Amino acid sequence: MPLQKLQFRPGIDRETTSYTNEGGWYDCDKVRFRQGMPEKIGGWTRLSSNSFLGSCRALHTWATLSLNNYLGVGTSQKYYIEEGEAFFDITPIRQITDTLKDISISVEGVEATASVGETTVEVNLETVTGLEATTAIGTVGVITNQDMTVVIGNGLTGLSMFTLLGDVDMVPDNTTVTIEGFEATGTLGYVVPSSSTSDSQIDFSATDGSSTINVSEPDHGAVLGDFVTFSSAVGLGGNITADILNQEYKIESIVNDNNYTIIAREVAPLSDITVDGQYTPTPVLANSSDTGDGGRATTANYQINIGIDSAVFGDGWGAGVWSRGAWGSAADVNVVTDTLRLWSHDNFGEDLIINVINGGIYYWDASQQRPLTKRAVQLSDLAGADGVPTIATKIIVSDVDRHVIAFGCDSFAEPGVQDPLLIRFSDQENPAVWRPTATNTAGDLIISRGSKIVTAQETRQQILVFTDKSLHAMQYIGAPFTFGVSMLSENITISGAKAAVAIEDVVYWMGLDEFYVYTGAVQKLPCTVKDYVFSDFNFEQREKVIASSNSSFSEAWWFYPSANSSNIDKYVVFNYQQNIWYYGSLARTAWIDRGINSNPVAASPDSYLYTHESGFDDGSTNPASAITAYVESSQFDLGEGDSFAFVRRIIPDITFRNSTATTPSADMTLKARNFPGGNYLQTSDSGISRSASVPVEQFTQDANIRIRGRSMTLKVSSEDTGVTWRLGSPRIEIRPDGRR
């Protein structure tokens, strides 16, 4: 009997029909091609048993001078640093609410009230030991350091020095006070505090039998799901003790601009009640004795507002930013009105600079003791900061020349007003100085094409800047202009801010209906699965597209949401060494290639990080579960394809090297058709199969199989734990039938 060797071209081709693609592969999942042969991809294991809050869409690794390896994790709710399998929350603080103070003093028997203002200085005074009075110029008093300079209006002259003995409790840092309410002339005598009181801006109220606590604070600025940490509060009198109030909380509801609610919970670090990515507090019920308001000294630290987890696109008149486009024009359904929460991050030396898209720029100092408790601060709060942008789309630290670059930011002249096409850069070697002068290299550039900067990607030679319609190259050119920008293409698109990946000096990215590559010139990347990908693609959630690389296998990956899913559930791979494509189903929201870590690390929607190419199984379950992997060929003719033929047996060519299963195996399936567009045939009355599957092992010499048809497909699959396989060139034994 003649043997027919089954050899197929590497890669998947879905741009033609299965029959036209004879000699190629047509479908696969969790399979890659190496040296032209298909094999099952590696498995994944959990990097840590701890999970994080929110959807992670940004990962960044680096090492400090002390050889500490850190992994930055940016989510829709937090920014963490992972070290030693623990997640340390460094999310910046948006607002600190301190207490209001009323300090009563008497001046030669006349009672006056000093009201605390909003300006803050350096020292927290608990006892005022000295008082200096100066010539009157108004009604403003200032507390600085250990001295109190009191300037009292209405014609005071000839003021003398004297000492004040007494306590002024809980005066906050950097406080400006105003003293009003009396007239005096001549020389002041002793000024003695008659009383000292304070009153908090924050009031708590509880309901008997409920764990819901209403928090009252004017203009709190919080949104649903924000996080706030209270301190210095006192208990409410019953079950709601001070320890219960003075911890971090998630805001459960927004009542109005001045009120929100939290759920009183047992005392525990937030990391301990983050279970499988969910905030899971143990509620504490108030009782009838909880009638207090939290005391006079409560402080609230509000973290920056959380971001949305799905993009919202404009639909109808008025959607999007007001006044964009011609008046009266229809709203573009492709205009994003609420942007997905995405982070950009880079290192300045061993320190970290982070930016939330269309938000602030923050700085985290790595030189601190463990555990990592210090939060990131606004870049503008660094010593000597000058002209720092307050809002940006993305930040990059230019590796060659050590400038911090902000894309789509506000200008020096109009702080807080975002210009989506503006690029600004700091002084060289100084991330805090952005004001251009004759003696520094700070400056700005403007992009002339497109309506907004979408993202930027650094290569060894330059930085590529993507707008919604064009691509530009930004290069360091030295004094006096520092950087220059040149346009590369006006005819490109990009799916989102994370859709591009740089591999060496080559940049690959996913557009709206094409794949592109930049190798010194912009080109459309020929793709044999383009129609398959973009015909099953959720364009409304295209901002979720994540580009990544797996350099061990010369692969560029894109994870994307399919048409019937609002979240990422599929991937497509370009193997740039073999110039082929393949795809599959896998939910990963962020990915970073090996580097500091020996394997790639990815974030999953289940709020865990996974080490990939680790083992052969799905480590998201305990115990690990099997990965279902398969590859299926296009149709191939039996003989000349104009007559029926029988297949009697199959001679496998497959290796299970390194498998950990005791008896690793895979299934080989042959399916028959009589016509290219016909259905796969079922078992006939004579008992001859139209579809037959046989298990094969490492030393299976041949397997009997009975199948009849004009053309067939071959499928190799596995769904057992501890199994990896690589296919060679199997053979089938064919006996012509003779009938046509």
Which of 149-153, 250-254, 494-498 shows the lowest mean pLDDT across its residues? 149-153
Q: Whole-angstrom Cα distance, residue 457 to residue 399?
A: 12
Pairing of strands 86-89, 93-97: unpaired
Residue 45 bridge partners (DSSP): 611
pLDDT at 688 over 90: no
Instruction: Give the pLDDT mean for 510-515.
Output: 96
Give the least confident one: 211-225, 323-337, 395-409.
323-337
Cβ atoms of 343 and 57 closer than 8 Å: yes
**CB neighbour burial string for 183-199, b if at least 16 within 10 angstroms, e if fewer:** ebeeebeebebeebebe
Fold of 3-26+628-736: Jelly Rolls (2.60.120)
Indicate the helix (H) or strand (E) that contains 73. Answer: strand 69-75
pLDDT digits (tens, 9 = 90+) for 598-616: 999 999 999 999 999 999 9
State residue 244 phi and psi, 5-degree precision: -70, -40
What pLDDT shows up at residue 739?
54
E-only strand ranges, 221-335:
227-231, 248-250, 253-256, 259-263, 274-275, 278-279, 299-303, 312-313
With a pLDDT cut of 90, the percent of the chain lying above it is 70
3-state secondary structure of 116: strand
Distance, in Å, from the CA atom of 326 to the CA atom of 136, rounded to the nearest integer, reads: 58
- Under 8 Å between Cβ of 375 and 360: no
How high is the pLDDT of residue 644? Answer: 78
Tokens at 412, concatenated: 């020096």
CB 614 within 8 A of CB 720: no
Which band of pLDDT confidence, cut at 50, 70 and 90, is reported for residue 734?
A: confident
Q: Any idea which of 13-27, 132-146, 228-242 has the lowest mean pLDDT?
A: 132-146
Segments making up each domain of the chain, as ranges: 3-26+628-736, 100-199, 203-303
What proportion of the chain, given as a percentage, has pLDDT over 70?
80
Domains 3-26+628-736 and 203-303 share a fold: no
485, 447 contact by CB (below 8 A): yes
Read out DSSP for 132-167?
Answer: EE----SS-EEEETTEEEE--TTT--S---B---EE
Q: What is the mean pLDDT of residues 98-120?
A: 41
8 A C-beta contact, residue 658 and residue 696? no
- Report yes or no: 191 and 107 within 8 Å, Cβ to Cβ: yes
Whether pLDDT at 320 is above 80? no
Residue 333 has pLDDT above 60, yes or no: no
Tens of pLDDT, residue by residue over 359-371, are 999 999 998 877 8
pLDDT of residue 28: 98
Out of 323-332, 511-520, 600-609, 716-725, pick the least confident: 323-332
Give the pLDDT confidence score for residue 198 in this predicted structure.
Answer: 54
What is the pLDDT at residue 54? 97
- CA 312, CA 339: separation in Å to the nearest integer? 7
Beta-bridged to residue 651, according to DSSP, are 731
Q: What is the pLDDT of residue 678?
A: 64
Longest dimension (CA), the chain: 127
Confidence at residue 166, expressed as pLDDT on a 0 to 100 scale: 32
Architecture field, domain 203-303: Beta Barrel (2.40)
Per-residue pLDDT at 181 exceeds 50:
no
Examine the pLDDT at 335 and tell me if it is beyond 80: no
Query: What pLDDT score does 337 carry?
Result: 52
pLDDT of residue 204 exceeding 50: yes
For the ranges 404-408, 499-503, 698-702, which has the lowest average pLDDT? 698-702
The total number of residues shown for the chain amounts to 740
Q: Is 103 helix (H, G, I), strand (E, B) or coil?
A: strand
Judged by DSSP in three states, 421 sits in coil
Instruction: Report the candidate in 92, 95, 98 with the shortest Cα–Cα distance to residue 77.
Output: 92
**402 backbone φψ class: left, alpha, beta (φ>0; ψ -120 to 50):** left
β-strand pairing of 86-89 with 278-279 = unpaired
Stretch among 41-45, 101-105, 165-169 having the lowest mean pLDDT = 165-169
The residue-averaged pLDDT of 29-52 equals 97
* Nearest-angstrom CA–CA distance, 102 and 198: 5
> Could you give the count of Cα atoms lying within 13 Å of 653 in the half-sphere of its Cβ?
12
Instruction: Read off the pTM.
Output: 0.85
Mind listing the pLDDT tens digit for each residue in 451-476?
A: 999 999 999 889 999 999 999 999 99
How many CA atoms lie less than 13 Å away from 89 in the CB half-sphere? 21
Q: Picking from 253-262, 282-291, 638-647, which range would have the lowest pLDDT averaged per residue?
A: 638-647
Mean pLDDT for the chain?
84
Q: Which residue has the higher pLDDT, 416 or 692?
A: 416
Q: What's the rounded mean pLDDT across residues 180-192?
A: 34
Residue pointed to by tokens 């399979």: 31
Query: Residue 33: which region, alpha, beta or left (left: phi > 0; alpha: psi -120 to 50)?
Result: beta
Instruction: Decide if 122 contacts 173 (C-beta within 8 A).
Output: yes
Q: Are 501 and 507 in contact (CB under 8 A)?
A: yes
668 — phi, psi (to 5°)? -110, 125
Task: Express each pLDDT in 517-546 by its tens digit.
Answer: 999 999 999 999 999 999 999 999 999 999
